[in-house]
A and B are shown apart, each in its own frame.
Chain A
Amino acid sequence: MKKYLSVFKISFAQEFAYRLSFVMWRVRNVMQIVLVFFLWDSVFSGTQKIIFGYDKAKIITYVFGLIIVRAFVLSARAQDVAGEIQRGEIVNLLLKPVSYFKYWITRDISSKALNLLFATCEWVILYLILKPEFFFQKDPVSLGGFFLLVALAMFIFFVLIFIVSAITFWMPEAGWGMQFLIIVVAVEFLSGGLFPLDILPSAIQKILYLTPFPYLIFFPLQAYLGKISGLLLIKGIIVSAFWALTLWLLMKTIWYRGLKVYNSPGK
């Protein structure tokens, strides 16, 4: 435990070593939220009060919720794993008396802690500047469901990154391309990271629910907004846990097969 605490501290300090890089990443996040905020603000400036089942307060809450949930779920240092495999640097850690997965989970937690700190400040600043209508959830069951779903989403995203990164074992040149395709493009849109998924036709939504993506951002935010409750909430938590477990087992299988074919290029 002590060694992972050291990893946490070092990783946290490392983020501050590249301060500009970190600040710019946060600025980019804010700009994306500003774009989506004004889009929805404009959509609700007409006479319609309810669109896609959302009133203005709930859709703006969704946009503001994105700041926090994205910081929780999508900020992850494990995205460097593909590069480590490609450059052969993974060997450095495999030879050390640490668990590779626990090492990256610790680094992810450190990244999330820092991002959450900044995201909270951004949330407050944007709230004061834009003065939006906001929906505060008071029901403890919905709040509990929200936090549980966020925890599961963090784990699903972590495992997803490792599965995508493992492709680098077989195709070293395709590692970062696959990250762009799955982690950047697919996750961004199919998780509800930009727009809520229930604006899509129900047929597309049904297909999306067969994938783990909606459980990353959309589903936790639906729980916060109280749009899913009771049995639906329990069902959602079970499906989310199912994805976490299935992807974990899949990742383990792929990872160990990858390590067998790995010949440590560049080292």
Chain B
Amino acid sequence: MKRLFYYLKIWWLMSKNSFMTWLAQKMLLLIFLTGKLMRFAFFAGFLYFIIKGAKSLAGYNAPQVIFFFLTFNLIDIITQFLFREVYRFRPLIVSGDFDLVLTKPYSSLFRSLMGGADLIDLITIPPLVFAVIYIGALLNPSWLQTILYLLLLVNGFLIATAFHIAVLSLAIITLEIDHLVMIYRDLTNLGRFPIDIYKEPLKGILTYLIPVGVMISVPAKALMGLISIQGIVVSFAIGILLILLSFKLWHFALTKYSSASS
């Protein structure tokens, strides 16, 4: 427990610094916030008009499709809010400044992953949570379905965390991160819609190999009561397995760090 508070305190200090950096450039903050809100509104708008014209998408009605889209955004924005530091990791490795992280009395993974929360994403989280609750309520879920949704959402965050740790690890091994993290984001973008719209083998790949489906579609389906007990168990197993594998990969990557340029 004491350790948890220790890390919470460090996270708060690092996040405060990150927020102050943004607040020092209010114009830029406003521009990026507007851009993010515009992108969300445009995509949601187009989606709404497509469903309105087509009546349904892969058997899902308009509120259901919007709920898939909102669940994707919830996971995407919260992970970006927490793990923004991943996008700033490459200079640390290329310059050798990662040495300074390794010598500090806290987990280097914690620092690399959560070293600077993003203020813009924080601002967009409350309205998004409200939208998820509002549209979710229209689907009339039972208590059990709601609890399963929340648990599978946590499982989705676990998978997203595993992806980010893998990206950090590969950055140490290959010095390449900018594109890896963007490829990860493009892959998760495929989860904006229910994965049922994809055909095999892409559908299978997105379900089991790169489990975007488990991360985004499965929680939403659980709320709609469209997932079996086996599906839930497999989803949790994939989440736990991936996070364990990502920790292993991180420890392996650390042994490959050459401290070049330092």
Contact = CB atoms under 8 A, between A and B. Distances in A.
A21 B179 contact: yes
A195 B189 CA distance: 16
Interface in A199-219: 199-201
A92 interface: no
A46 B55 contact: yes
B42 interface: yes
A171 interface: yes
B182 A24 contact: yes
B7 interface: no
B201 to A, nearest CB: 11
A133 interface: no
Nearest to A47: B55
Most buried by A among B32, B56, B193, B198: B198
B49 A39 contact: no
Contact of B57 (A42, A171, A180): A42
A219 to B, nearest CB: 18
Chain B interface, DSSP helix/strand/loop, else mixed: helix
Interface residues of A, number: 37
Given A186-B38, A189-B39, A194-B46, A174 B27 contact: yes
A184 B28 CA distance: 15
B190 A35 contact: yes
Contacts, number: 97
A38 B31 contact: no
Interface in A15-58: 20-21, 24, 27-28, 31-32, 34-35, 38-39, 41-43, 45-46, 48, 51-52
B54 A173 contact: no
A234 interface: no
A52 B53 contact: yes
Given A45-B58, A180-B35, A194-B46, A35 B179 contact: no
Nearest to B180: A24
B50 A177 contact: no
Nearest to B42: A189
A188 B40 CA distance: 12
A46 B50 CA distance: 13
Nearest to B31: A177
Interface string B172-203: 00001001001100110110110011110010
Most buried by B among A34, A177, A200: A177
Interface residues of B, number: 36
Chain A interface, DSSP helix/strand/loop, else mixed: helix
Interface in B119-165: none
B49 A199 contact: yes
Contacts of B54: 43, 46, 48, 51
A39 B58 CA distance: 9
A110 B122 CA distance: 40
Contacts of B31: 174, 177-178, 180-181
B49 A28 contact: no
A125 interface: no
Contact of B53 (A31, A190, A199): A199
A28 B182 CA distance: 8
A181 B38 contact: yes
B55 A48 contact: yes
A177 B32 CA distance: 6
Given A39-B50, A177-B32, A185 B42 contact: yes
Contacts of B25: 173
Interface string A219-240: 0000000000000000000000
B43 interface: yes
A171 B28 CA distance: 10
A169 to B, nearest CB: 15
Contacts of B46: 189, 194-195, 199-200
Interface in B31-67: 31-32, 34-35, 38-39, 42-43, 45-46, 49-50, 53-58
Given A174-B27, A174-B31, A189-B42, A43 B186 contact: no
A116 to B, nearest CB: 21
Interface of A: 20-21, 24, 27-28, 31-32, 34-35, 38-39, 41-43, 45-46, 48, 51-52, 171, 173-174, 177-178, 180-181, 184-186, 188-190, 194-195, 199-201
27 contacts: A20-B176, A24-B182, A27-B186, A28-B183, A31-B190, A34-B190, A34-B202, A38-B198, A38-B199, A38-B202, A39-B57, A42-B57, A46-B55, A46-B56, A174-B31, A177-B32, A180-B31, A180-B35, A181-B32, A181-B34, A189-B38, A189-B42, A189-B43, A190-B42, A195-B50, A200-B45, A200-B49
